[in-house]
Amino acid sequence: MITIRKAAEADCRTIRRLAETAFPAAYRAILSPPQIAYMLEWMYAEPELLRQMRDGHVYYLALDEGVPCGYVSVERQAPDLFHLQRLYVLPAFQGRGIGASLFGRAVAHVRAAHPAPCRMELNVNRRNRALRFYERMGMRILREGDFAIGGGFYMNDYILGMEIGPAEADAGVLQNGGRR
């Protein structure tokens, strides 16, 4: 049985351990091993995760019968703008709807934090197969960009977005016209 709970600062080590498996699996066909290692330290060092949480990133953990198997992070970036920072599921747990459940939890978080209509955006590597997942979830490509992240590395991303309205206005159809 899958449960999703809000992560606490004490969960930083768990998130790091999940990232050490999920992140390289997601990017080994797209990024070089040095860039993967750089990004793991840049985004997932335990002090960095703690800083993120203290600066407003909200993490949720997915657990399968108590075993951590995925995570999502959402950050408010402006009054009417939220950013889905991360969503990863361990490879052994993929294909079971956990990613969709985490995505739904992120949307529910945004709705609770901002009951009026707003937007949620996400950066995804232009070559990442997860792009199709996010499109199925109702997101659409808004723009693209190449972002220097240090160490001589770049993120070559699409920026996806979706409008999020109150739950009662949704009724199974996403605000941007996609179907659930």
Q: Please indicate, yes or no, if residue 139 is contained in any of the structural domains.
A: yes
pLDDT band at 180 (very low <50, low <70, confident <90, very high): very low
Tokens representing residue 157 in the block:
């991303």
Q: Flag whether pLDDT at 151 surpasses 80.
A: yes
Q: Flag whether pLDDT at 178 surpasses 70.
A: no
Q: What is the CATH number of the domain that holds 32?
A: 3.40.630.30
User: Would residue 161 be called left, alpha or beta, if left means φ above 0 and alpha means ψ between -120 and 50 degrees?
Assistant: beta
Q: Please indicate, yes or no, if residue 180 is contained in any of the structural domains.
A: no
Range of the domain at 34: 2-170
Q: Please indicate, yes or no, if residue 178 is contained in any of the structural domains.
A: no
Q: Average pLDDT for residues 96-117, to the nearest whole number?
A: 96
Domains in the chain: how many in total?
1
For 3, phi then psi, to 5°, come to -125, 155
What is the predicted pLDDT for the residue at 19? Answer: 97
Q: Please indicate, yes or no, if residue 28 is contained in any of the structural domains.
A: yes
Quote the mean pLDDT of the chain. Answer: 92
The position carrying tokens 């790091």 is: 16
What is the predicted pLDDT for the residue at 166? Answer: 80
Q: Please indicate, yes or no, if residue 37 is contained in any of the structural domains.
A: yes
